[in-house]
Amino acid sequence: MADNNPDPGWYYCTKHGTVEHGDVCRAADRLGPYPDRETASRALEIARERTKAWEKAEREWNDD
């Protein structure tokens, strides 16, 4: 049976620089969802890490 009240997730609002639970700010200003407050608080760090990994993969792809 499906959960009728699923956890809305944790988000990082780039406009306000705050961690939010659920749909507080508009989607265009949010990163997430993340599983918990702590992970959401690291959203910008996580995004930087993912960007670096993507850029590395892109360079390797183009070098082939």
Residue 49, H or E segment: helix 43-63
Going by the DSSP 8-state scheme, the letter that residue 3 receives in this structure is: -
Q: Is there a contact between 10 and 20 (Cβ–Cβ < 8 Å)?
A: yes
Q: Is there a contact between 41 and 24 (Cβ–Cβ < 8 Å)?
A: no
Q: What's the pLDDT at 2?
A: 62
Task: Look up residue 15 and give its two tokens.
Answer: 């406009």
Distance in angstroms between the alpha carbons of the first and the last residue of the chain? 48
Q: What's the pLDDT at 21?
A: 95
Q: What is the pLDDT of residues 7-45, one digit of tens each?
A: 889 999 999 999 999 999 999 999 999 999 999 999 999
Spacing of C-alpha 12 from chain mean position: 7
